[in-house]
Chains A and B, each alone.
Chain A
């Protein structure tokens, strides 16, 4: 069962335990939280985390989920990715200190707009466009498609600075069983891409025309990343003839210190 939206009932804080973590890149850490009483979520949703200091001081941050809306045999496992912000209040704790077995409060799922599920859209293809850590909620959609054995055609255009910044590199470069029909193209802004022959540079209309879907196919477009990136990609998609009604955006502001 997946919850349809944020529940109409009071959305309370739950206690989660860090069950696993690993470095995704030099500056990003993947966290897997075990939440025994998690109500379920939809691909693309996010959670709020609440951190508590020794004097009772609390602060909260939002993180997108990378997990499909699927319960593991061991219970609900929520994966998120934390990018270390230098001098940040929260992210250096989550990337460097927070240890397996430690507890943290989580609230969610949150957000019912930037979501994808197999039954939506009448089979229209899906275009995912990620900038940097904007890949996280889009990865949730790719994994949801795999988990549900859905065959909707997916294309992902993933923009990042250099190869070293790539999240989920193994999973995207060696697609697993169930990822047939998911085509991935990586745009590197600060280095050439030897495999595709694409020179370093920001995402362009030509990239989206070559690696996205024709506007005639009326794909559903999900664009996530930093504000400037999302603004530019949305503008390019409109210029290529896509309808604003088919473009959903989620902008990662400087997501908190």
Chain B
């Protein structure tokens, strides 16, 4: 095959191990599909609904009274930027699911503004995912998903849904917003699962 991009002398400019196709940034880019919702915490609730329709609901006060964790994690966005060593505070999904009896294998996450995304339950449990409300010591800004967003740092960031309000347990995997538009159902950055069909 003929030479591709002759004269290109790129270098990975990061001291961190980058997933394939990613580069490091030090700012915090914003990507969203529509206007930023502004959600008051006094009417905010988070619901978890299992496959039988049983609901658990937390108000903001109840949610922030749950045991809190402080993960420091790396973020990988499918648009190719990776950001290392970000510090968050929030509630582990293990805590939220502690008394949820379910055999469902997947969730569909719902958000203010209408965004949805789907994940396997196994990607949410075992200390791998949080509902985060604080970023670098300050309340999470609306533009980054505040008052609260899902944080699943081992998957591409579109799975870490901003403005999260509901988690629906489902027995069949149902594609969410970007997944219906051709993005991968799981989105593992280390396997470069960007688009439907990527192995």
Residues of the B chain whose Cβ atoms lie less than 8 Å from the Cβ of A113: 33, 177-178, 181
B10 close to A59 (CB less than 8 A): yes
Query: Distance in Å from the Cβ of A87 to the closest Cβ of chain B?
Result: 9
Residues of the A chain whose Cβ atoms lie less than 8 Å from the Cβ of B21: 50, 58-60
User: Residue A7 contacts which of B2, B34, B182 (CB distance < 8 angstroms)?
Assistant: B182
B35 close to A237 (CB less than 8 A): yes
Q: Contacts A6-B195, A111-B181: A249 and B32 contacting too (C-beta < 8 A)?
A: yes
A97 close to B4 (CB less than 8 A): no
B23 close to A97 (CB less than 8 A): no
Complex CA distance for A173 and B27, rounded to whole angstroms? 36
Residues of the A chain whose Cβ atoms lie less than 8 Å from the Cβ of B3: 103
Question: A235 in the interface, Cβ–Cβ < 8 Å?
Answer: yes
Complex CA distance for A7 and B182, rounded to whole angstroms? 7
Q: Contacts A10-B197, A51-B10, A234-B35: A257 and B30 contacting too (C-beta < 8 A)?
A: no
B29 close to A227 (CB less than 8 A): yes
Residues of the B chain whose Cβ atoms lie less than 8 Å from the Cβ of A244: 34-35, 37, 113
Residues of the A chain whose Cβ atoms lie less than 8 Å from the Cβ of B81: 253, 256
A51 close to B33 (CB less than 8 A): no
Q: Contacts A247-B35, A253-B79: A93 and B30 contacting too (C-beta < 8 A)?
A: no
**Taking each of A104, A227, A247, A250, which has the highest tally of chain B beta carbons within 10 Å of its own beta carbon?**
A227
Question: A191 in the interface, Cβ–Cβ < 8 Å?
Answer: no
Question: A124 in the interface, Cβ–Cβ < 8 Å?
Answer: no
Question: A112 in the interface, Cβ–Cβ < 8 Å?
Answer: yes
Question: A11 in the interface, Cβ–Cβ < 8 Å?
Answer: yes
Total interface residues in chain B, CB < 8 Å: 43
Residues of the B chain whose Cβ atoms lie less than 8 Å from the Cβ of A89: 10-11, 13, 23
Question: B138 in the interface, Cβ–Cβ < 8 Å?
Answer: no
Residues of the B chain whose Cβ atoms lie less than 8 Å from the Cβ of A54: 9
Complex CA distance for A137 and B33, rounded to whole angstroms? 14
Question: B198 in the interface, Cβ–Cβ < 8 Å?
Answer: yes
Complex CA distance for A205 and B3, rounded to whole angstroms? 51
A105 close to B4 (CB less than 8 A): yes
Query: Distance in Å from the Cβ of A47 to the closest Cβ of chain B?
Result: 12
A57 close to B182 (CB less than 8 A): no
User: Residue A256 contacts which of B11, B23, B33 (CB distance < 8 angstroms)?
Assistant: B23
Question: B183 in the interface, Cβ–Cβ < 8 Å?
Answer: yes
Against B, the Cβ 8 Å flags (1 = close, 0 = not) of A52-89 are 11100111111000000000000000000000000001
Question: A5 in the interface, Cβ–Cβ < 8 Å?
Answer: yes
Number of A-B contacts (CB under 8 A): 135
Question: A114 in the interface, Cβ–Cβ < 8 Å?
Answer: yes
User: Residue A254 contacts which of B10, B27, B199 (CB distance < 8 angstroms)?
Assistant: B27
Question: B6 in the interface, Cβ–Cβ < 8 Å?
Answer: yes
Question: B196 in the interface, Cβ–Cβ < 8 Å?
Answer: yes
Question: B100 in the interface, Cβ–Cβ < 8 Å?
Answer: no
Using a CB-CB cutoff of 8 Å, which residues 1-53 of chain B contact chain A?
A: 1-13, 21, 23, 25, 27, 29-37
Query: Distance in Å from the Cβ of A237 to the closest Cβ of chain B?
Result: 7
B5 close to A102 (CB less than 8 A): yes
Question: A187 in the interface, Cβ–Cβ < 8 Å?
Answer: no
Question: A98 in the interface, Cβ–Cβ < 8 Å?
Answer: yes
Residues of the A chain whose Cβ atoms lie less than 8 Å from the Cβ of B12: 57, 59
Residues of the B chain whose Cβ atoms lie less than 8 Å from the Cβ of A249: 32-35
B182 close to A110 (CB less than 8 A): yes
B34 close to A231 (CB less than 8 A): no
Besides A93-B7, A251-B32, 5 new A-B residue pairs in contact (Cβ under 8 A), listed by A number:
A5-B181, A10-B198, A51-B4, A53-B10, A60-B80
Residues on A facing B (Cβ under 8 Å): 5-11, 15, 50-54, 57-62, 89-90, 93, 97-98, 102-105, 110-114, 227, 231, 234-235, 237-238, 244-245, 247-251, 253-254, 256-257
Q: Which 4 pairs between the two chains have the least Cβ-Cβ distance? A: A6-B182, A253-B29, A10-B197, A112-B181
Residues on B facing A (Cβ under 8 Å): 1-13, 21, 23, 25, 27, 29-37, 79-81, 113-114, 143, 177-178, 180-183, 195-199
